[in-house]
Amino acid sequence: MGLTIQDLNVSFGYKYVVSNLNLELDSSEIVAILGPSGCGKTTLLRTIAGLQNQSSGQITLNGERIDGVPCESRGIGMLFQRPVLFPFKDLLGNILFAYQKKNQRDMNEVRSVIQEMGLEGKEHQAIETLSGGEAQRVVLARALLTKPKLLLLDEPLSALDVDLRRKIAKEMRLTLKTRGIPAIHVTHDPIEAEIIGDRVIHWTDLQPGGDNEE
Amino acid sequence: MIRVSLILSVLLLAPLSGCLDSSQSALESVESPDDCVVYTGDDDNILKILTYDSLAISDEVLDEFTNQSGYQVELIRGDDAGSVLEKMLLAKDAPQADLAIGLDNTYLQTALNNCLIAPHNATVPDLNPLALVPYAGDRAVPFDHGYICLNVDTSALEENNLSIPTSLEELTDEAWRGRTAFPSPTTSSPGRAFMTATIDYFEQMDSIDAMRWWEDMADNDAIFTTGWSEAYEIHYSGGYGVWEEGHIGDAWLTVSYCHSPGVEAYFGGNSTISKSVIIDYAAFHQVEYAAKINGGGDAAAVDEFIEFLLSEEVNVEMPFYNYMYPVLEGQDLPETDGYRYHSPIPSTPAEVSNERIAEEMEDWLAAWRKATDYI
Amino acid sequence: MRSTVVRTVPVVLYLSMILLPLLFAVDRLMLVTGSNPVESVFQIDEHPFGSDAVKFTFVQAFLSAILTLLIGLPIAWWLGRYQWKHIGIVRAALTLPFVTPSIVAAMGFLALIKNGGLLHSIGIDLRTETGIIGSLSSTIGVENSGHIIALLVAHAWFNLALVIRFVEPRIATLPPRYEDAFRMLPVGKTPFDRLAKFWWPMLKIPILSAFTFTFLFSFTSFALVRWLAPNMWTLEALMATVGGSAGIPGYRVEVSRFILGAATLQAIVLIAALGLTSRMQQRNFQETELVSEGYSRTMNGHPGILPKIGVFMATIFALAPLVFMALSSVRIRNRTTDSYRWSLEAWEYAFQGDLSYVSVPEALTNSLVYATGCLLLSCTLGFFVAHSIHSLEKQNRKKLAQTIDVLSMLPLALSGVMVGLGVLLGTLKIWPELFNFYGLPILPHAMLTTPFVIRILLPAMREIDPDYEAMGMVLGFNAIQRFLKIKIPLLKPQIVVASALSMAFSLGEFGASWVLLRSGAWDTLPVLVDQLMSRPKYFELVTPIAMASATVLMCTTFLLFVIAERFRTHKGGGF
């Protein structure tokens, strides 16, 4: 079980950004991938999420092939480099975007996640007023409520200062571990990678060619 | 894929443009209206009336008709009598309306010749015989009438030691330079009617050709305007225009109805400086008609509306709604506030038959445009 | 495949909506005249008024544009240079004329120049041309010069906001150190040098853009020409007046020929002017850095007495016609006693509709129905056409995106009367029954407003961060959910602005409605005002009733713009 990627190739036109990549994740494992920016890590995550088409290869999640499944049906959560919050909703409204329909909402769960993320009392704040750290916590809270089978973290902390980044990384690991959600965390900060990951993989080990560009 | 959409658009266009050329029959006249093929459109219980802008049949009057008859009424309007005819011509193959109101005796014959009108079956009450002089057939019923003639500003004439003209020729005198305003016969019904009168006037006088007179008038700096309102409101110094925006007031004489001074007096507390000029053959008797449109539907409603229009309660109101004489036998303008008093009826108006008007109008207009260098 | 349908259908619909009626109308005119559009341009002078109309159209548009700059540039300069209290209110007042429906502007100016109006009472007699205007008139030797002056001033009034909105921000955001540096160089010693060698190069693009737009609007002006210069002809006014006779085989062929030629000539001029401005605007973007408005204003301090007087006068100028129009609806001249009285009688008549087929509330309802129809049609089509263009751009199919973009702008090269005649003659060919359909005027209104909707929405769509869409997918929303829950809310400010604009445009639209809309019960407010003014005015209340109707139209339009202004955000919506 978990995630298995076999011989994955992704190209933009004639240019291969990811070539013959293989990766395996256990069912609740957190893997940190370390590499410089622009090497192709983001493309890998977007391909797993289904936001980017692959040229060839297989992706299996919990024993099922997902590489033909459209993004919205893969059940994978993702945090982007910049927190994606919708400006026309307040904090709570953004978190409730985790549910597609009103009758699916579990407000007890919502409240407990808000508490866990330390966002109590800010439910009705406009999102422009949130700090960078708070914004990523909101995005994480929303992602958790979707109960993802896998969470992809695309340098979500890179905009924060070093101390805060490492503090939130610790919290994140704790949160994911308590819930048993497997995750791939991509970063260029080795210490952050050590903090969050059960295992740290260097991009160059995944892609021995190493000179790929995004 | 968008390329497909462009191709699709072209494909959509192609078959349609093929069927176009056959759809429009060119303007063609029949020898006699009796040769026309009469056809009827669908009945939808909505009486659609094609009329002109200034015909003020109020919605109360129309509501009354709806209450009486049960037919809904919709109005479709053009600028003036000319555009009523044009709209009928434009929509000849698919008439927009069931009933046309406002074609006058200068347009009627063209409509008849082009088979735009069908006979009605309305019961017509006794009408003023004068209103039946231009046309008395069953394809058009008069609903109001009036005389078009020259109006002068009596106070301006007094100030300038001019007397009221007794002939059209006088107006080419230096004393009248730049002091006359005429609405164009190509774009205005009163203008067209007056121009028609001048044709007859100069034939009766057996002097010069009418177009020669118009040319002389143009040389005498006569002011030409597109519509009656521009001539009467902006240029004429004897009418209500004095109070209006944009008034210039450089003309002491213009073309209007012989009863316009009466209307002036009626609204001006029984006083007016405007007076109509009665010269033999220089006035035109204008009759306005209601006519059933060939190819329109709801024939019963059309007949009922014609009867409604000629009912006493509606027809005697014409002097107020439409500033025209009623057509019912024995009815006249009201005496109130000098309305009737200031409205002389010319004893000898121009005599031009409808047939001649239809036949020669386009030539006259072309000659008029050439003579005056106006549209 | 479904997304392809979503992209293709609106484009096909929109292009056929604008192209079909026009193609059919041109086809019909060609059939009647036997000339092609290009030939007919050279036959305009066969119409007795054709060549005069061409001359007057160009001359008045050119003079109007010059006069607008003469009035507008000092105001823009003063507004941009100094710190003003209440700048928001002043700007709003100066923008008001530009959003005023043209028939309202015409009524406003008539109210100013009439016997007993403001201008007349201070000795400026543009009507009977006595006093100053009389001597001016005889000096230049042009007939009806009072009317022409009124027309030019009205055009300047109408377009003043264009000059200010184009030029003022440029003056206000230019870094002051440029000017400072220039002053210290030998080449910038005198104010004239600085004007010629610094300010002109810096400002010439916004100034020329404002000039071109003013020229364009004056070129196709109809309601103002119709009411302020009734003896003069522009191509637009002449086309509208004689247009009823066009397109009938064998009947007044010279009219059809004139319409075809005049419409072609107008389209050529409009396309040329639009092409010119868009090229100028592109160059404008590449230029120098900007600073915040406040900074440059602080450098120049508070305005002196001259700028204060100037801006005050401009504000009065902007408001006067509207105020006096409203006043003329309640100040009634008594015909018999030659005195004025204040009364609401005209308003009562207007609301009861005793002098017209429709009353003001009915006409307002009709106007609002058309405006809502126009809004729904133009915003839906505009949204999806913009969406198609944007998704083609994202797929890197730039050429095709550009082609559709350019085609979608085509109606900007058409005037109201041209579109009205196009639909009139075009629909008669395709589907004569459609001509009886009361909703028909929605078509020309939507034709004219959709390009603006696209112009407002497309830049906003380009600015949306693609991560929003990606996040929506990751959250498990399907395409429809993403559209409704993410895309629409993100574009809401621009959608509101576009909606208010297209409604306001439809409410005030005069040319196309005037040509098309004579279906009695469906008169709109502008058409009602025009009809009332065209009536014989023996009765003293006719004009005040028209003024009251125009006042209602003005208030409704301004209300819509207040709504739009509240939603206008600084990001996106490059209109």
User: What is the tens place of the pLDDT at every residue in A35-57?
Assistant: 887 778 888 999 998 888 888 89
Amino acid type, C172: A
In this predicted structure, which of B6-20, B56-70, B174-188 has the lowest mean pLDDT?
B6-20
Residue burial A66-92, b: 16+ Cβ < 10 Å; e: rest: bbeeebbebbbbbbbbbbbbbebbbbb
Confidence at residue C98, expressed as pLDDT on a 0 to 100 scale: 86
| Cβ pair C339, C106 in contact under 8 A | no
Question: What chains are in contact with A, requiring at least 3 Cβ pairs below 8 Å?
Answer: C
Among C28, C117, C335, whose Cβ lies nearest the Cβ of B268? C335
CB atoms C428 and B28 under 8 Å: no
Residue C257 lies in a domain: no
Element (DSSP H or E) covering residue B47: strand B46-52
CB atoms B20 and C228 under 8 Å: no
Element (DSSP H or E) covering residue B49: strand B46-52
CB atoms C481 and A75 under 8 Å: no
Whether C24 and C103 map to the same domain: the answer is: no
Whether C111 and C145 map to the same domain: the answer is: yes
What is each CA distance from C323 to B291, C86, C344, C548, in whole angstroms?
Answer: 46, 20, 16, 12
Residues of C with CB under 8 A from a CB of A: 465, 467-468, 470-478, 481, 485-486, 489-490, 492
SS3 A25: strand
| Cβ pair B258, B147 in contact under 8 A | yes
Whether A13 and chain C come into contact, CB under 8 Å, resolves to no
CATH match of B147-285+337-372 with 3.40.190.10: yes
CB atoms B248 and C531 under 8 Å: no
Whether C440 and chain B come into contact, CB under 8 Å, resolves to no
Residues composing chain C: 575
Q: Specify the number of domains making up chain C.
A: 2
pLDDT in tens, A170-196: 988 998 999 899 999 999 888 999 999
Residue from C469, C474, C567 to probe the interface with A (highest A Cβ count within 10 Å): C474
Residue whose token pair is 């494992």: A29
Mean pLDDT of B123-146: 91
Confidence at residue C143, expressed as pLDDT on a 0 to 100 scale: 65
Confidence at residue B236, expressed as pLDDT on a 0 to 100 scale: 93
Handedness of CA C551, C552, C557, C558 (dihedral sign): positive
Among B1, B245, B323, whose Cβ lies nearest the Cβ of C536? B323
- Residue C97: both structure tokens together: 């004329």
CATH number of the domain that C157 lies in? 1.10.3720.10
Contacts of A73 in chain C (CB under 8 A): 476
Contacts of C486 in chain A (CB under 8 A): 86
- ipTM for the predicted complex comes to 0.85
| Among C328, C356, C390, residue at a domain's last position | C328
CB atoms C355 and B264 under 8 Å: no
Contacts of C432 in chain B (CB under 8 A): 91, 93-94
Contacts of C349 in chain B (CB under 8 A): none
Name the residue among C55, C11, C7, C2 with its Cα closest to residue C408.
C11
Whether C2 and C54 map to the same domain: the answer is: no
Residue C115 lies in a domain: yes
Q: Which chain A residue has its CA at the smallest distance from C476's CA?
A: A72
B127 DSSP assignment:
B
Whether C155 and C54 map to the same domain: the answer is: yes
10 Å CB burial of residue C284 (0-12, 13-18, 19+) is: middle
Number of H helices, E strands in chain A: 7, 9
Order the strands of the A150-154 sheet from edge to edge.
Answer: A76-79, A150-154, A183-187, A30-34, A199-202
Category of B293 on φ-ψ map: left (φ > 0), alpha (ψ -120 to 50) or beta: beta
CB atoms C467 and A49 under 8 Å: no
User: What integer best gives the mean pLDDT of chain B?
Assistant: 85
Contacts of C528 in chain B (CB under 8 A): none
Q: Is pTM beyond 0.90 here?
A: no
pLDDT at B13 over 50: no
* Contacts for C559 with CB less than 8 Å, ≥ 6 apart: none
**Domain spanning B32-145+287-335: which CATH class is it, in words?**
alpha beta
In this predicted structure, which of A145-154, B160-169, B296-305, C3-12 has the lowest mean pLDDT?
C3-12
CA torsion C167→C171→C174→C177, rounded to 10°? 150
Contacts of C471 in chain A (CB under 8 A): 78, 80, 84
CB atoms C519 and B82 under 8 Å: no
Confidence at residue C455, expressed as pLDDT on a 0 to 100 scale: 85
d(CA C22, CA C424): 10
What is each CA distance from C179 to C83, C184, C195, in whole angstroms?
Answer: 18, 9, 11
Contacts of C465 in chain A (CB under 8 A): 82, 84
**Structural domain containing residue C66:** 45-247+275-328
Element (DSSP H or E) covering residue C121: helix C118-121
CB atoms C492 and A73 under 8 Å: no
Residue C478 lies in a domain: yes
Name the residue among A127, A200, A134 with its Cα closest to residue A168.
A134
Contacts of B59 in chain C (CB under 8 A): 353, 357-359
Whether C427 and C323 map to the same domain: the answer is: no
C334 forms beta bridges with C339
CB atoms A88 and C489 under 8 Å: yes
CB atoms C467 and A78 under 8 Å: no
| Cβ pair C173, C185 in contact under 8 A | no
Confidence at residue B342, expressed as pLDDT on a 0 to 100 scale: 92
| Pairing outcome for strands B180-183 and B325-326 | unpaired
Q: Count of CB atoms within 10 A of residue B265's CB?
A: 24
Contacts of B271 in chain C (CB under 8 A): 336
d(CA B76, CA B293): 13
> What one-character-per-residue DSSP string does C337-362 give?
TTEEEE-SHHHHHHHHTTTSSS-HHH
Question: What chains are in contact with C, requiring at least 3 Cβ pairs below 8 Å?
Answer: A, B
Question: What chains are in contact with B, requiring at least 3 Cβ pairs below 8 Å?
Answer: C
Whether C322 and C453 map to the same domain: the answer is: no
What is each CA distance from C262 to A15, A187, B374, C445, C515, in whole angstroms?
Answer: 56, 67, 18, 21, 16
Contacts of C490 in chain A (CB under 8 A): 86-88
CB atoms B20 and C534 under 8 Å: no
Whether C120 and C26 map to the same domain: the answer is: no
Q: Where are the domains of chain A?
A: 25-52+70-206
pLDDT at B337 over 80: yes
10 Å CB burial of residue B7 (0-12, 13-18, 19+) is: exposed
| Cβ pair C308, C83 in contact under 8 A | no
CB atoms B369 and C335 under 8 Å: no
Residue from C475, C485, C487 to probe the interface with A (highest A Cβ count within 10 Å): C475
Among C9, C16, C127, whose Cβ lies nearest the Cβ of B247? C127
Q: Which chain A residue has its CA at the smallest distance from C484's CA?
A: A100
d(CA C526, CA C550): 7
- DSSP E strand stretches across B53-110: 72-78, 99-104
> What one-character-per-residue DSSP string does A120-170 give?
TT-TT-BGGGS-HHHHHHHHHHHHHHT--SEEEEESTTTTS-HHHHHHHHH
Question: Contacts by B359-362 with C-beta closer than 8 Å and gap 24+?
Answer: B361/B106, B361/B110, B361/B192, B361/B196
Report H helices in B71-107. Answer: 81-90
Q: Which CATH architecture has domain A25-52+70-206?
A: 3-Layer(aba) Sandwich (3.40)
d(CA C432, CA B183): 33
Contacts of C468 in chain A (CB under 8 A): 84, 86
Whether C296 and C445 map to the same domain: the answer is: no
d(CA C127, CA A183): 83
Whether A76 and chain C come into contact, CB under 8 Å, resolves to yes
Residue C267 lies in a domain: no
pLDDT in tens, B28-50: 567 677 778 888 877 888 888 88
pLDDT at B1 over 50: no
* Cα B242 off chain centre by: 25
- Residue C220: both structure tokens together: 């196709």
A65 DSSP assignment:
E
pLDDT in tens, B75-110: 887 777 788 888 888 888 778 889 999 888 988 988
pLDDT at B7 over 70: no
CB atoms C473 and A71 under 8 Å: yes
CB atoms C470 and A80 under 8 Å: yes
pLDDT at B54 over 70: no
SS3 A8: strand
CA torsion B256→B261→B263→B266, rounded to 10°? 170
| Cβ pair C326, B30 in contact under 8 A | no
Question: How many interface pairs between A and C have CB atoms less than 8 angstroms apart?
Answer: 56
Q: Where are the domains of chain B?
A: 32-145+287-335, 147-285+337-372
Residue from C14, C144, C534 to probe the interface with B (highest B Cβ count within 10 Å): C534
Residue whose token pair is 């349609």: B16
pLDDT at B24 over 80: no
**Average pLDDT of adjacent 10-residue blocks, chain C of 575 residues:** 72 84 87 85 82 90 95 90 83 87 90 75 67 68 76 92 86 74 72 78 86 90 88 87 81 86 90 81 56 61 85 90 89 77 87 79 90 92 90 85 83 84 80 74 88 88 87 88 89 87 87 72 84 83 89 90 68 35
Residue from C2, C468, C469, C471 to probe the interface with A (highest A Cβ count within 10 Å): C471
Among C16, C144, C429, whose Cβ lies nearest the Cβ of B23? C429
